[in-house]
Amino acid sequence: KAGWYTEEWADQGSAISLRVKDKVHDERSPYQHIEIYETETFGTLMTLDGLVMVTDRDNFVYHEMMSHPALFTHQAPRRVLIIGGGDCGTLREVLKHDEVEHVDQVELDERVTRVAERFFPELCAANDDPRAHLHFQDGIRWVADAEPGSYDIIIVDSTDPIGPAAGLFGQAFYADCHRALRADGIIVGQSESPLFHASLIKAMHEALRGANFLDVATVHFPQCTYPSGWWSATMARKDATLAGFREQACHERAFATRYYNAGIHQAAFACPEFLFKTL
Ligand code: AG3
């Protein structure tokens, strides 16, 4: 049925609407309601519990910014853990880095990945890379059970901080991540809209510092199908600062990106005045 798909943000008095040609998949997994639409102008759309997760047209911005700023800040990212990320878009970006030797992706809901394999094959194209290890279980438990110092980078590619994802924004989880990271390890998590959710970003900064991370920073990027159209990822480093961008390596990277480059890397860390005053 053609019409409009709308994600409404009641508390913000605003919404995003995409013109859709058809709903092509609808299922209730043990964890959530998974729907796939074919849109008029944004390609395929995946929603979870009615909220936009991925569209063909704009997911590259989010997935590149969830991965490359952290991977080009770390001097030698070899072992990466992705929590969530079931559509595999972040995994694809991480695997573009040749120095990455092993990626564990821990997604709660296997159905999200199976549906993505069918409707977003280009995001899942690298899933059979021998370096990629997909696990379908609770990420909070995974990190709590991880050997100390087992990862260089942890990427938290979660849904909004409600329901099962809420724990992924808390200090107890960050403390477990701190332990699971090597000394120069970096954690990065999606941190919602700076315009709509500045208090969440502030709480994340406090929780990360409370979990003994030395340096915390937020990167900004446009994401026109998420609330407010402006999105962020918040990053922290265990016992070094987030300075040390491998700019030369970024310039000389052997893989293609569509949003991220060295100029974007540096610009994305700039902190808007209102957020600076909030944090
Ligand atoms: N992670 C979801 C970000 C939250 C979007 N929120 C919303 N639409 N209300 C994206 C998963 C992509 N790998």
pLDDT tens-digit map of 162-177: 998 999 999 999 999 9
Range 24-49 average pLDDT: 98
Residue ranges at the known binding site: 32, 63, 87, 107, 138-139, 157-160, 164
What is the CA(227)–ligand 1 centre distance, in A?
9
Q: What is the pLDDT of residue 39?
A: 98
Ligand 1 neighbour 85 (Cβ under 6 A): yes
34 pLDDT higher than 70? yes
What is the DSSP pairing of strand 151-157 with strand 102-107?
A: unpaired
**Pocket lining: 227 vs ligand 1, CB cutoff 6 Å:** yes
All domains in the chain, ordered by first residue: 3-55 (2.30.140.10), 59-278 (3.40.50.150)
Q: Whose CA is nearest to atom 10 of ligand 1?
A: 53
Average pLDDT in the 131-146 region? Answer: 98
Query: What average pLDDT does range 27-44 have in this prediction?
Result: 98
CA of 255 to the centre of ligand 1 (A): 25
The three-state DSSP-derived secondary structure of 172-227 is HHHHHHHHHEEEEEEEEEECCCCCCCHHHHHHHHHHHHHCCCCEEEEEEEECCCCH
Q: What is the mean pLDDT of residues 236-262?
A: 97
Instruction: Using the predicted structure, report yes or no on whether residue 70 has a pLDDT greater than 80.
Output: yes
pLDDT at 1 over 80: no
Question: Which DSSP category does 43 fall into?
Answer: -
Model-level pTM? 0.98
Q: Is 221 in the pocket of ligand 1 (CB under 6 A)?
A: no
Is residue 157 annotated as part of the catalytic site, yes or no?
A: yes
For ligand 1, whether the C-beta of 161 sits within 6 Å is no
How far does the centroid of ligand 1 lie from the alpha carbon of residue 252, in Å? Answer: 30
Asked if pLDDT for residue 94 goes beyond 70, the answer is yes
Whether pLDDT at 279 is above 70:
yes
Tokens standing for residue 195: 């315009």
Cα angle vertex 230, ends 53, 35, to 5°? 15
Residue of 102, 81, 109, 103 whose CA lies nearest to 179: 81
Q: H or E element: which one contains 273?
A: helix 273-278
Give the angle 38-43-65 at the CA atoms, nearest 5°: 130
CB of 180 closer than 8 Å to CB of 149? yes
Task: Quickly list H helices, 87-197.
Answer: 89-95, 110-119, 139-145, 171-180
pLDDT for 2 equals 78
Q: Which atom of ligand 1 is nearest to the CA of 87?
A: 13
Catalytic residue from among 58, 104, 109, 157: 157
- Measured from the Cα of 88, ligand 1's closest atom is 13
Query: Which residues fall in the annotated binding site for S-methyl-5'-thioadenosine?
Result: 32, 107, 138-139, 164
Q: What is the DSSP letter of 167?
A: G
- The number of the ligand 1 atom at minimal distance from the alpha carbon of 90 is 13
Span 183-196, average pLDDT:
98
N-term to C-term CA, the chain:
45
The tokens for 164 are: 């099962």
The mean pLDDT value for 204-209 works out to 98
Q: How far is the CA of 54 from the centre of ligand 1 (A)?
A: 7
Mean pLDDT of the chain: 97
Instruction: Provide φ and ψ at 59, rounded to 5°.
Output: -70, -20
Percent of the chain with pLDDT over 90: 99
**Average confidence (pLDDT) over 20-36:** 98
Q: What is the mean pLDDT of residues 196-225?
A: 98
